[in-house]
Structure 1
Amino acid sequence: MTIKHVFDHLGRSVAVPFPPKRIVSLCPSLTETLFALGVGERVVGRTQFCIHPAEALADVVRVGGTKQVKDDVLASLAPDLIIAEKEENPKEMVERLAESYPVYVTDVETYEDALYMIRDLGKVVGARGEAKQITSEIEAGFAELAYVDGVRAAYFIWQNPYMVAGDHTYIHSLLSRCGFVNVFAEAEGRYPTVTEEEIRAAAPDYLFLSSEPFPFTEKHQEELAARFPDSTVVLVDGEMFSWYGSRMIAAADYLRKLVGEV
């Protein structure tokens, strides 16, 4: 068995059996990306929120959620690599798991970070060629994006209280890449809580209501349109805005259509 020492996105040295044959993924978008890289048959565990690709994941064992895993289930799988994500998985949990297993942590806040992550993931699991193909397709798709110059937007991820995407988030990066001005980029925190008064004062042209983690619906769209008549309220697919990885191939087309309707 060959042991490969790699540095993850937190600068941690991780000793990984190469190529890893029993992988557990603790982040939905990374799980989907592993299958896109062609190593899905080596994924033995995933979280309950890892739902794509649905058919392929049907027989993959659930180890818990992104914030808490079942240690006994994880132990029964004997993983030789755990893939985690800084934003999705708590530091304390990652550090505890790292005492028993090789844990590779990614850290994605921007479009560029996401491409870097795909390439690095390809190296770690032995799928460099597939990673290069995926990133090339993503780059080609995003190169065709239209650009809205200075349209002001707020991206909602939660209700009661209202929470929005701030700076230093992948969502903010995609908004900026399309030309939108994130009206809460200067707010404190990556996902700040905002009041109705703050929303009105920010004067967004568009309110984007995400399908996740809070499942905004047409009912919420109507309610917010009544409360903020000076803004256009739009329901958006949260996976296209927040699932970095292979999902970005589809996201490029989705964003191109969305920008075209603004």
Structure 2
Amino acid sequence: MRFSDALGRQFELPAPPRRIISLVPSMTEWLFSVGAGERVVAVTDYCVEPAAAIAHLPRVRGTKNPDRAAIISLQPDLVIAEQEENRERDVRALSEAGINVYVTAIRSVADAVKQLAALAAVLDVTPAAAPMLAAMEAAIAVPPPPTRRVLALIWRDPWMAVGQATYAGDVLRLSGGINVAAELPGRYPRATLAEFLAFDPEVILLPSEPYPFSERDLPAFAEVTGRCRLAFCDGMALTWPGPRTVTALTTFRHLLEDAL
């Protein structure tokens, strides 16, 4: 079987992979959701779901510093990586060591549907993946009109936000949001908080990850209290494509509809 990943990198497999290592937390969750979990032989330190199912699995360090030697020693048939999450040098090194590395590059919900369908074919789990993918397609078929100016912050010190050409930014768009940080260059632009607030957002989302925003961060927004809504939200819902997508779209649509 010959396949191409999202970057157009081609590789061959004699049969559907039976030993899989996931270097992407969201992909780890997706693998278990489509019935391929029993084939996963290792995950990263940041893979947290499904918690009970992966508790016993070996860890191969983080997404940005995977233990290549450990990965190679586990003799996987396939390693799953993401262009945004993982470093090109690690993908290249594993490939040069004879490991098949399948790289996704999900920048929108439509990308997620297309690329997860392609990966499902590689894994021979298309029937199991089909209902989820159909639900995702239905959820994005008729997006609501843009109604709320939204700023979704993902870090502080320095302040960073969800920008253009990102899965999270597309979730906001499909939820009726106008992503104000998309006016800045870069996929995750950095700016001072004052510069972000100058775009006059109506809603500021404070996700639980990658930076764990909490009430201790609220004093920083004192100047906009009363003229925009501050909303803590689930960071995984905002950034993890797969089993969470449909519920995330419903959740954020309701949040924006009720914002003011």
Which of 210, 221, 225 is the aligned partner of 1:225?
221
Aligned to 1:124: 122
Cα distance in structure 2, aligned partners of 1:17 and 1:77 = 18
Q: SS of the counterpart of 1:185?
A: helix
Cα distance in structure 2, aligned partners of 1:89 and 1:159 = 22
The one-letter code of the counterpart of 1:133 is P
Q: SS of the counterpart of 1:209?
A: strand
Q: SS of the counterpart of 2:81?
A: strand
Say whether 1:63 aligns with 2:65: no
Q: CA deviation at 1:140?
A: 3.7
How does the TM-score come out when normalised to structure 2? 0.93
Q: Give the fraction of aligned pairs with identical amino acids, expressed as a percent.
A: 38
Which of 14, 19, 26 is the aligned partner of 1:22?
19
Say whether 1:247 aligns with 2:244: yes
For structure 1, the residue ranges without an aligned partner over 5 or more in a row are none
Cα distance in structure 2, aligned partners of 1:212 and 1:244 = 15
Q: CA deviation at 1:228?
A: 2.2
Cα distance in structure 2, aligned partners of 1:231 and 1:125 = 46
Q: CA deviation at 1:58?
A: 1.0
Aligned to 1:192: 189
Cα distance in structure 1, aligned partners of 2:115 and 2:191 = 31
Q: SS of the counterpart of 1:10?
A: coil
Cα distance in structure 2, aligned partners of 1:52 and 1:250 = 16
Q: SS of the counterpart of 1:239?
A: helix
Q: CA deviation at 1:112?
A: 0.2
Deviations 1:139-168 (A, max 9, x none): 3445687x3633111110001111001101
Q: SS of the counterpart of 1:6?
A: strand
- Superposed CA RMSD: 1.6
For structure 2, the residue ranges without an aligned partner over 5 or more in a row are none
Cα distance in structure 1, aligned partners of 2:41 and 2:81 = 14
Aligned to 2:41: 44
Which of 160, 163, 171 is the aligned partner of 1:174?
171
Which of 179, 200, 204 is the aligned partner of 2:201?
204
Query: Residues 17, 186 of structure 1: CA spacing in aligned structure 2 closer, same or farther, 3 A cutoff?
Result: farther
Is residue 177–residue 256 contact of structure 2 (8 Å, CA) maintained in 1? no
Cα distance in structure 1, aligned partners of 2:31 and 2:45 = 16
Is residue 24–residue 82 contact of structure 1 (8 Å, CA) maintained in 2? yes
Query: Residues 162, 234 of structure 1: CA spacing in aligned structure 2 closer, same or farther, 3 A cutoff?
Result: same
Q: CA deviation at 1:83?
A: 0.6
Q: CA deviation at 1:54?
A: 0.5
The one-letter code of the counterpart of 2:121 is K
Query: Residues 49, 75 of structure 1: CA spacing in aligned structure 2 closer, same or farther, 3 A cutoff?
Result: same
Is residue 204–residue 231 contact of structure 1 (8 Å, CA) maintained in 2? yes
Is residue 81–residue 103 contact of structure 1 (8 Å, CA) maintained in 2? yes
Count of residues in correspondence between the two structures: 257
Q: SS of the counterpart of 2:17?
A: coil
